[in-house]
Structure 1
């Protein structure tokens, strides 16, 4: 663990972020805690690191004879060192700062948390692993300003900030490198549902929108191209809705029990990759940057896009 700076009213220590940050954006400031280099070295050198992801350590348990043994499976929830501190000159609550950390997580492309054990199953130790964009002009300060503007605009309905955090978390869960495809699909579909809940609260639709039309409605809302798998106008209906219904209601994925079949065999498509890319664009738009050209860039490629927040 790093040496924490003295507590300050209206501040939270968080991590893990492997680079220095010194940001002042309106009432919000972010600083790097002491011993960042040591914290990074400890995490990078951990035996649980593989391909820029860190996994939870194996559990040690005391047996009846008083000895220590290791279980053959890890605890799914684990912690990492705190590396930075965020402060606000006049926060409405601790939730205000936690919301900023969630949004900063999204724009840095890696999970950040102020809790002692805020990581589930696996988390990247390098920025940018969980999103398909790179911040351009203004970078992190602009992202902080965007988060603060969203909070101020919607503070009368704090549930909206919680839904933003939920959508980001579901997006991150959908990137878990050891998850099966149906698990990634369900996490990302849940992220769509969170985005829809937020979108319909902020932009009232004229009538009820079923699951089959939700993704297309959100795409239309922000001028995004509708992916073929979400097009409600094809005769059989959008593929994503059919997959969701079969998976949730019948415990089948691609016609087989969960985990025994995958989507896209023999094709060049990658459904979960495209779903994750679209969720990224929806979150950017819903946070208030819908005018960014990134929002309307294609999401059917592994190419990283530039994101200019203005």
Structure 2
């Protein structure tokens, strides 16, 4: 048996589980690592840690901190992911991406796998919390997806792309249009994966993609993605204006917000829908959560199926 190990972090809780060929174990000094991270008052605000200042080595050996962050940074490793018979390194990394999504924290095996900021507490990013067997169910789901699609490696890459776009969109300092564009990228990746698994109708227009995916999985179609009318969907119009005309809500990017005074939080609903689509695409499309409304701030307890 040729077990492969992948050290990863940052996850602040003890996690020792196994499911078939896959297991996760906690490194011995987790408590010390968590204490050091949470007491980092210079870079931590609330439940987020931010990239440290860029340091430049000047002539003469002096190190000077620049007035801007490094953007890409690293955190200590806290756990080990093991697989007794992986197909390749991407197999383990795929497990790590899926695990990241379900614990609501960016996890990485690289030395500098974080961009701008990342939460240091789990379950902070999305509108669900795992129940049932929790992480064991996650490992089973990820392994089943990999086994089913192992001959189509681009599908696992698309899963990673969706998850990373969701993570990037959560930066607390993003402007609304930045979050919108990242979330729309997640939708585009969802569609690319969905159409590779199940062929969409011919001549499907760009503005019909989200509603097609919703129908595919029996999901409610949000008002902003409803393609039943003659005109383009609201979200497609916003996307076209942003990408092709450098405008958002009819103004230069960053100066106007969508939904002011209406009680509608478009990007929050987009995030919720992307999460539901991702879970359905991973193979748990029969869950009640997948068909649940995206127009509330309710936190859902989910059990993977």
TM over 0.5: yes
- Is it true that 1:22 corresponds to 2:22 in the alignment? no
- Deviation string for 1:149-200 (max 9, x for gaps)? 0000000011100000000000111111111110000000000000000001
Q: What is the aligned counterpart of 1:149 among 144, 149, 160?
A: 144
Give the 5 Å matches for 1:1-310: 9-46=3-40, 47-310=42-305
Of 56-65 and 129-138, deviating more is 56-65
Deviation per residue, 1:113-168 (Å, 9 max, x gap): 00000000110001111211011111110011000000000000111000000000
**How many aligned positions are there?**
303
Which is worse superposed, 186-195 or 257-266?
257-266
Deviation at 1:266, TM superposition (A): 1.2
Aligned-partner Cα distance in 1 for 2:55–2:167: 28
> Is the contact between residue 50 and residue 117 of structure 2 (CA under 8 Å) also seen in structure 1?
yes
TM-score (norm. length: structure 1): 0.96
CA contact (8 A) 2:3 2:85 kept: no
Cα-Cα RMSD: 1.1
| Distance in 2 between residues matched to 1:178 and 1:206, nearest whole Å | 39
**In 1, Cα distance between the equivalents of 2:18 and 2:286?**
24
205-214 or 174-183, which moves further after superposition? 205-214
Q: Secondary structure at the match of 2:294?
A: coil
Consecutive unaligned residues of structure 2, counting only runs of 5 or more, are none
Question: How big is each residue's C-alpha offset from its partner over 1:247-300, in whole Å with a ceiling of 9 and x where there is no partner?
Answer: 000000111111111111111000000000000000000000001111011111
